[in-house]
Amino acid sequence: MTESFRGEIRDQLRRPVRDLRISVTDRCNFRCVYCMPREAFGPGYKFIPRSELLRLEEIFRIAKAFALHGVSKIRITGGEPLIRRDLEQLLEMISNIDGIDDISMTTNASMLTLERARMLRSAGLKRINISLDALDERTFQKVNDVEFPVERVLQGIEYAHEAKFDEIKVNAVIRRGWNKHSILELAEYFRGSKTILRFIEFMDVGSTNRWKLDEVVSASQMIDIINAKLPIVPVSPNYRGEVAKRWRYLDGSGEIGFIASVSEPFCGDCSRARLSAIGSLYTCLFSARGHDLRKLIREGGSDKALMRKIDSIWTSRHDRYSELRGDVLEKVNRSKRVEMSHIGG
């Protein structure tokens, strides 16, 4: 791929592209109620045929094209990315792309053995985010809806530490009526550990999770719950556009974060693009329409053509759904939106 195209591109709101999130599969072994609820993703649900998934070399070409446009961070997502058997090979390929200096992954850790964790680390994975929405068995299994035991996820977190990833985070999506009581329990459990806990507001991604505004526990409410028992203070972001608002415990026992996409939108600094497992590029988590890069590649499109396509897509971008949510919610047909399981978080 020619280096002559190297250069930053900006969208209609002057936002650069810095972060590419790559879904490697739409399949998952959980049926979490906020992502892949069983009533929509039941036994009869038709997942993408494996022949239609992007091949490793196709993902590599797209990732390299984005790197030439200024992307330095790649996050591997799903579905559940550990289902993809050739994942380590993909990580090795991406880690050799000039300009990519950070590769992370989001997983439910259900398949994360110590051996797999070490293989992922050796292949180039630097950071890992593990989803864990509750500590008590009843609530955790109610949310994942496959009776998966919480202890095995906690074991996966320990394996991640043994594999010596640069950073390990735990993500908890909080939904009123489901796991609000888990907020303080999770904070107390991970405080003082080397694991950074991040709470995420329940978001209206896709069309199947039955999102309701009154089921959102805002970041400010979560902060109040924790601060009443475990005093915390805000911390400056590590970089402009950082998704999570950082806080630290006053007693020096660590850091905690809050992702407030609903109550405190951060569209103005969003520099993330998302690639689905079949090669559709989305410029917003709440998009209804993707841009087909797989077709261009499989029809013999050159690297230059791929670069031009990405340039055209990003420079035309004007997404700011979360900022406009209150104004457009009634006008948006949610049934057409891409599901979280297709483009990750």
Q: Which domain holds residue 114?
A: 8-343
Beta bridge partners of 293: none
pLDDT value at residue 330: 46
Judge whether 93 and 56 are in contact, CB under 8 Å.
yes
Whether 47 is covered by a domain: the verdict is: yes
- Measure the CA–CA gap between 62 and 94, rounded to whole angstroms: 10
Query: How many domains does the chain divide into?
Result: 1
- pLDDT confidence of residue 344: 77
Supply the CATH number for residue 40's domain: 3.20.20.70
pTM greater than 0.75 (yes/no): yes
Q: Tell me if 143 is assigned to some domain.
A: yes
Question: Is 290 inside any structural domain?
Answer: yes
Q: Is 61 part of a structural domain of the chain?
A: yes
Task: Measure the CA angle with vertex 344, ends 62 and 160; round to 5°.
Answer: 100
pLDDT of residue 335: 58
Residue 229 in domain: yes
Residue 15 lies in a domain: yes
Q: What is the pLDDT of residue 240?
A: 79
Q: pLDDT 10s per residue in the chain (345 long)? A: 545 456 899 999 999 999 999 999 999 999 999 999 999 999 989 999 999 999 999 999 999 999 999 999 999 999 999 999 999 999 999 999 999 999 999 999 999 999 999 999 999 999 999 999 999 999 999 999 999 999 999 999 999 999 999 999 999 999 999 999 999 999 999 999 999 999 999 998 888 888 898 999 999 999 999 999 999 999 998 887 788 999 999 999 999 999 999 999 889 999 999 999 999 999 998 888 899 999 999 999 999 999 999 999 999 999 987 877 655 554 555 556 788 888 876
Nearest to 161 by CA among 183, 128, 203, 133: 128
Residue 3 within any structural domain of the chain: no
CA distances to 25, 76, 119, 153 from 126, rounded to whole Å, are 20, 11, 12, 19
Residue 2 falls within a domain, yes or no? no
pLDDT of residue 205: 85
One-letter-per-residue 3-state SS of the chain: CCHHHCCCCECCCCCECCEEEEECCCCCCCCCCCCCCCCCCCCCCCCCCHHHCCCHHHHHHHHHHHHHCCCCEEEEECCCHHHCCCHHHHHHHHHCCCCCCEEEEEECCCCCCHHHHHHHHHHCCCEEEEECCCCCHHHHHHHHCCCCCHHHHHHHHHHHHHCCCCEEEEEEEEECCCCCCHHHHHHHHHCCCCCEEEEEECCCCCCCCCCCHHHECCHHHHHHHHHHHCCEEECCCCCCCCCCEEEEECCCCCEEEEECCCCCCCHHHCCEEEECCCCEEECCCCCCCCEECHHHHHCCCCHHHHHHHHHHHHHCCCCCHHHHHHHHCCCCCHHHCCCHHHHCC
**pLDDT given at position 341:** 85
